[in-house]
A = this chain, B = another copy of it.
Amino acid sequence: MSEAALLIEADDPVLDSAFVIEMVRQMRAIDAYGTYDNWSVNKILDPFVMTKERKREIPVIGDPDEVTMSRVKAFYNAIAAMIEKECGLMAVPMLNLSHEGFGRVIITVGKLVVMDRTLRDVHRFGFASLSKMKDEADKLLSVALEIIGKHSEVAGM
């Protein structure tokens, strides 16, 4: 992908939000070969932006590839990390792909399920824009924190 094709601007203010910083950290954590070392932040996160045009180019046959899976994991790991920061309790993500891009992802805190989502069309995992990704993350985070607040005893088990 050429630099010109990036869909996130280098000066996008959303890049400074806590969630996006955590996302970059997660992406760098799985980058065992240092491929991203010299990449700008907007280039690292660019594949998360999934426009209609990009979706059209992705075949939906068989199981999603490792790179796509690692992005899905990075997103939910980042959510778990944010939950952990906010509530001070360990949040553990668990992802299960059944077949052909379907699956389920949950995040548990203690004995409490704070997020539970069915995954569909994992091949084309992504968001309409960077700010849409942040909105989605903020929503999941606030719902999770609300559940933890209500059932703190179970979350502390």
The answer for the CA separation of A59 and B103 in the assembled complex, in Å, is: 30
Cβ of A120 under 8 Å from chain B: no
Copies in the complex: 2
Among candidates B94, B95, B96, B112, residue contacting A112 with C-beta atoms closer than 8 Å: B112
Residue of B nearest to A147 (CB): B111
Interchain residue pairs with CB less than 8 A apart (20)? A94-B94, A94-B96, A94-B106, A95-B96, A96-B96, A106-B106, A106-B108, A108-B113, A110-B113, A111-B112, A111-B114, A111-B116, A111-B147, A112-B113, A112-B154, A113-B113, A151-B151, A151-B153, A151-B154, A154-B154
The 8 A-B pairs at the shortest CB distance, nearest first, are namely: A111-B113, A154-B154, A151-B154, A96-B96, A94-B96, A108-B113, A111-B112, A113-B113
